[in-house]
Amino acid sequence: MEKHQPSPESSSDTGIPPDARPAARTPPVESSLEECTVLEAPPPDPNGCLLHTGKVVELYCSECSCAVCDDCISGDHEGHSTAPIGPALELQRTALKDRLESAKTRLPQISDTLSLVKEILQQLTNQRTSIEEDIQSSFEDLHKQLDVRKSVLMMELEVTYGLKQKVLQAQVDRLLRGEGDIQDSCTQTEETLAGEACAASLQAEQGLAERLEELTNQGLPCHPEDNDQLDLILETDGLRKSIHNLGAVVSTR
């Protein structure tokens, strides 16, 4: 800024450019500012009155339970009964120490209770984990038992069905065979009968007659040798009820 506002003396008196002038010629404004900000308030007097600066507290107002100075007594505390501050401070200290002691005596009991409750909490958590495992394994066992029982029933079904199926299938086979034999012999006989009777075929026709008689009387099973009776007896209601009410989580004390 100085460059744009050349003072009259800089150009006329000395001829020296403003920048080159010695610093001493400018007034030391900065240093005086610093002094103002650095100034610190003196530490408060520990026995000073909080309301009246410079006054020392020498008395204790027993009505207001506070320390007071002369100005206080003639002001807000006028007419209040007072005592010397020293003994009042001592009394206060003694009372504070008593409080401290009685507060400290609570600590061991609290600490004991704390560790007991923490232990109980840990045991409770352990119980939960163990019960969780018990439920898991019990139900896995039940699942296994159900699967085993299912397999057994499937096997029983196979066996019972198999026995009946074998009997009926064997009867079907025998009847088919018998039916085929009779049909064949009938066809053969009918072909023979279609021709002229002659001495040469006498023996053959006697054979056919014997064969037909034998087939007719062969005693094929003409009643079903087994039945279709196959049923499932599976009572699940009781079991369902049992499962519905299976187990209980209880609080034991």
**What pairing do the DSSP bridges indicate for beta strands 66-68 and 82-84?**
unpaired
Q: What x/- string results for residues 11 through 50 when contact with Zn ion is judged by CB under 5 A?
A: --------------------------------------x-
At residue 65, φ and ψ (nearest 5 deg) are 55, 50
Should residue 59 be labelled a site residue for Zn ion when binding is judged by CB under 5 A?
no
Should residue 67 be labelled a site residue for Zn ion when binding is judged by CB under 5 A?
no
- For residue 79, CA distances in Å to 69, 87, 147 come to 14, 21, 97
Q: Is the Cβ–Cβ distance between 49 and 68 less than 8 Å?
A: yes
Give the shortest CB-64-to-Zn ion separation in angstroms: 3
Should residue 71 be labelled a site residue for Zn ion when binding is judged by CB under 5 A?
yes
Should residue 51 be labelled a site residue for Zn ion when binding is judged by CB under 5 A?
yes
Should residue 89 be labelled a site residue for Zn ion when binding is judged by CB under 5 A?
no
What SS3 class is residue 114? helix
The DSSP code for 221 is: -
Q: Considering only the stretches 27-35, 66-74, 178-186, 244-252, report the one whose residues sit in contact with Zn ion under the rule CB under 5 A.
A: 66-74
Q: What x/- string results for residues 171 through 200 when contact with Zn ion is judged by CB under 5 A?
A: ------------------------------
Should residue 117 be labelled a site residue for Zn ion when binding is judged by CB under 5 A?
no
Give the shortest CB-46-to-Zn ion separation in angstroms: 15
* Residue in this structure with the two tokens 């019960």, named with its chain if needed: 131
What SS3 class is residue 20? helix
Should residue 88 be labelled a site residue for Zn ion when binding is judged by CB under 5 A?
no
Q: Which is nearer to Zn ion, 61 or 208 (CB)?
A: 61
Among 67, 69, 85, 88, binds Zn ion (CB under 5 A): 69
Should residue 63 be labelled a site residue for Zn ion when binding is judged by CB under 5 A?
yes
Q: Take residue 30 and report the two structure tokens written for it.
A: 């900065």
- For residue 40, CA distances in Å to 35, 118, 241 come to 10, 54, 88
Q: How far apart are CA 116 and CA 120, in angstroms?
A: 6
**Binding residues vs Zn ion (CB under 5 A):** 49, 51-52, 61, 63-64, 69, 71-72, 77, 80
